[in-house]
Amino acid sequence: MAGMPQIAKDEQGRPFIIVRDQGKKKRTHGIEAIKNHIIAARTVSSIVKSSLGPRGLDKILISPDGDITVTNDGATIMGQMEITNHIAKLLVSLSQSQDAEIGDGTTGVVVLAGALLEQASELIDKGIHPIRIADGYDAACEVAVKELDSISDVMPFSKDSTDNLVKVAKTALGSKIVSKAHDQFAQIAVDAVLSVADLERKDVDFELIKVDGKVGGSLADTVLVKGVIVDKDFSHPQMPSEVHDAKLAILTCAFEPPKPKTKHKLDITSVAEFKELQKYEQAKFTEMIQQIKDTGANVVICQWGFDDEANHLLLTNDLPAVRWVGGPEIELIAIATNGRIVPRFEDLKAAKLGKAGVVREMSFGTTREKMLVIEDIPNSRAVTAFIRGGNKMLIDEAKRSLHDALCVVRNLVKDNRIVYGGGAAEIACSLAVEQAAYEEPGLEQYSMRAFAEALDAVPMALAENSGLSPIESVAELKMRQSKGERRGRLGVDCMQTGSNGES
């Protein structure tokens, strides 16, 4: 049949496919291409729109290998979508950069971007050139940012007075899966950030906050540890489960006798030679352990493994040891305990040991699982949020939720101004842009009005996800704000508390 692909073979007999009539295909360009791109981006935006706000729905994502993720996080949803259109991929990048820079609001930015593109499509239909639309959007954006500055409130806080920070963290967690325990998670987020924050410089070192989790228990069992948790236990069950005033030797070198190089081999032909080798290895192990003891260390953290003989010698020499600790964890332990990593045994003498008040094993209920906790670390601000939950999906989503709350608190440390949620700020900006559009004599007034309408998409989506009538709710809020009633503070009452959505 004409137009159907045909299989042919080359001179080596390898098959290839010939697809006929490719010449009849045409590239789309101009306005048609722009509109196709806008449709693709709007499709992505409409997928995540239903997960916006405290009443937004979670999405179940299934990866190609069958792994299931249940999440409400915009960046995670979009990161796992298989998108081929390049403009739609830009929206994915937008949500990911929002996640990296700000941490929260990943769904909101995509909904707003989709609304701006939808409005732009209507302006193109009216014959306005894309450049003129972009110019109008730029002018409207300046008006909106100025309005945000005027309606913003300052949130005072200090290390001793953290109530305001906790309130904001609770707002960030309100739409998350952890909302059942959001008082606790909000407090953990605030305590974690303030532990590593330099309030004078308005700086937060996120490297010092680790978020870890273990299946078992409930979300309410989540704790914040002032120190580091390592998913390992001491290498021998008879080693003490708790070491006070710990001095840590942090080794990234192999804890074993030197082996012959790969080009050489060692032939053992008699029992005497084997015993000689055994004696040499034992002497080497004893020497290594003595080198560690000479430094004053009473805990050994080792990146690589060691055999049972070395383990026995460590036990008899009262040196609790941990083996197979990953590279990133080794670095975190070194930073947290203010110690130096030892890459070669010869460097042990000059090495600076890590110090900790307590190194202890933490066991979990009736299971035999154990983890190591390094805490009470002098001059260190490292903290670990240790999340518990009924299954892996719950823990993964709780980690994402806590990350958002940590980012929100971090942002407040850097700049403690806030605007109110529930679409209140977007409605205020929409009114300001509409007013500016009436005063604009040029063609930009059309795209400025379109920008104002796009801003309404956020409160509309919030109202729709909350089961309210979107147009009716937003029209009432705009009317009340335009009359000067709590400008920038009246938003959609998502939780139906009857408080008119005021934050």
As a whole number of angstroms, the distance between CA 150 and CA 148 comes to 5
Known catalytic membership, residue 404:
yes
Residues in Cβ contact with 491 at an 8 Å cutoff, skipping those fewer than 6 apart: 420, 421, 422, 423, 424, 425, 427, 459, 462, 477, 501, 502, 503
DSSP SS3 for 247:
strand
Inter-residue contact 492 to 501 (CB < 8 Å): yes
Residues in Cβ contact with 239 at an 8 Å cutoff, skipping those fewer than 6 apart: 314, 315, 320, 321
Residue of 76, 107, 222, 384 marked active site: 107
Helix (H) or strand (E) holding 251: strand 242-251
As a whole number of angstroms, the distance between CA 176 and CA 416 comes to 23
Q: Which residue matches tokens 């299946």?
A: 215
Handedness of CA 333, 334, 337, 340 (dihedral sign): positive
As a whole number of angstroms, the distance between CA 373 and CA 380 comes to 15
Q: Taking the CB of residue 25, how many other CB atoms lie within 10 A of it?
A: 7
User: Token pair of 498, please?
Assistant: 């009857």
Q: Which residue matches tokens 């300046």?
A: 142
Known catalytic membership, residue 84:
no
- Give which of 426, 406, 407 is closest to 503, Cα–Cα: 426
Known catalytic membership, residue 295:
no
DSSP one-letter string for 354-401 = EEEEEEEEEE-TTS--EEEEEE--TT---EEEEEEESSHHHHHHHHHH
Q: Which residues is 243 bridged to in the sheet? A: 359
Residue of 76, 106, 162, 337 marked active site: 106
Residue of 99, 104, 396, 404 marked active site: 404
Residue type (1 letter), 495: M
Residue of 71, 73, 337, 396 marked active site: 73
As a whole number of angstroms, the distance between CA 140 and CA 147 comes to 11
66: left (phi over 0), alpha (psi -120 to 50) or beta: left
203-204 and 209-215 as β-strands: parallel, antiparallel, unpaired? unpaired
As a whole number of angstroms, the distance between CA 224 and CA 393 comes to 20
- Give which of 93, 79, 82, 90 is closest to 37, Cα–Cα: 90
As a whole number of angstroms, the distance between CA 167 and CA 209 comes to 21
Residues in Cβ contact with 416 at an 8 Å cutoff, skipping those fewer than 6 apart: 154, 155, 156, 157
User: Could you give the residue numbers annotated as active site?
Assistant: 73, 106-107, 404
